[in-house]
Chain A
Amino acid sequence: EPEVTQTPSHQVTQMGQEVILRCVPISNHLYFYWYRQILGQKVEFLVSFYNNEISEKSEIFDDQFSVERPDGSNFTLKIRSTKLEDSAMYFCASRGATGNQPQHFGDGTRLSIL
């Protein structure tokens, strides 16, 4: 069964540095999402992406965040100047376009800011 893959599985970065988290969604999916989950807390929506543009974003997704689909397969989340509170698991998800399709999640990138 096709799956969403995320790299790296764990990223350790100094505060203030830029970080890029990478995702390869399922190949025929058209909607892409990023979520984060702070340790012990709920999964929080960050941003959705369709047709090469952001569809919706949450309050968490401020100017420090950006997303890109640089080619036909990758979907990236960039954090420009990381803060301690950015430490969390970041999950990528994708879904098909027809009807009410479920999202399929990757196993996440654990981001640790020092």
Chain B
Amino acid sequence: SQKIEQNSEALNIQEGKTATLTCNYTNYSPAYLQWYRQDPGRGPVFLLLIRENEKEKRKERLKVTFDTTLKQSLFHITASQPADSATYLCALDDNYGQNFVFGPGTRLSVLP
């Protein structure tokens, strides 16, 4: 069966450290994968998109990797700040952009 999982429901880290979040999927062949941030009571906000032929993408303190052999994406936030505290969602396209499947999310708390 098809499944998309994120490594943990909640992750606590100290300010200044690097947060690493994992997204694993089975029985999908996505052309690309996206990461979103969601704050309580708000809609998901797009952060980064990585295509199947890309190994790594960076944007400021964010880095995403995509390994289609392992069927895994890693999302890193370096020099984390309390303002980075939120739920982070991975999403992959299931049918060339007609249908997107979201993971359950990881709630990140950055402690001062």
**B112 interface residue per 8 A CB criterion:** no
Given contacts A43-B89, A100-B51, A102-B34, contact A48 B44 (CB under 8 A): no
Q: Which of B68-108 contact A (CB under 8 A)?
A: 89, 91, 93, 95, 97-105
User: A56 near B42 (CB under 8 angstroms)?
Assistant: no
User: B31 near A100 (CB under 8 angstroms)?
Assistant: yes
Q: Chain A interface residue count: which class?
A: 20 to 34
> Taking CB as reference atom, which chain A residue is nearest B100?
A45
> Taking CB as reference atom, which chain B residue is nearest A110?
B41
- Chain B residues with CB under 8 A of A95: 97
CA of A41 to CA of B31, assembled, Å: 25
Interface string of A1-33 (1 = CB under 8 A from B): 000100000000000000000000000000101
Chain B residues within 8 Å of chain A by Cβ, number: 26
- Chain A residues with CB under 8 A of B45: 105
> Taking CB as reference atom, which chain A residue is nearest B38?
A43
> Taking CB as reference atom, which chain B residue is nearest A42?
B104
User: B97 near A100 (CB under 8 angstroms)?
Assistant: yes
Interface string of B24-38 (1 = CB under 8 A from A): 000000011010101
**B23 interface residue per 8 A CB criterion:** no
Q: Which 4 A-B pairs have the closest CB atoms?
A: A105-B43, A43-B102, A56-B98, A102-B46
Residues of A with Cβ closer than 8 Å to B?
4, 31, 33, 35, 41-45, 48, 50, 55-56, 58, 91, 93, 95, 100-108
A-B contacts besides A91-B43, A93-B43, A100-B93, 13 pairs, CB < 8 Å: A31-B97, A33-B100, A41-B104, A42-B103, A50-B98, A56-B98, A58-B99, A91-B44, A103-B46, A105-B44, A106-B43, A107-B41, A107-B42
Q: List 19 A-B contacts (CB under 8 A).
A: A42-B89, A42-B105, A43-B38, A43-B89, A43-B91, A43-B102, A45-B99, A45-B101, A48-B97, A58-B99, A95-B97, A100-B97, A101-B97, A102-B46, A103-B34, A105-B46, A107-B42, A108-B41, A108-B42
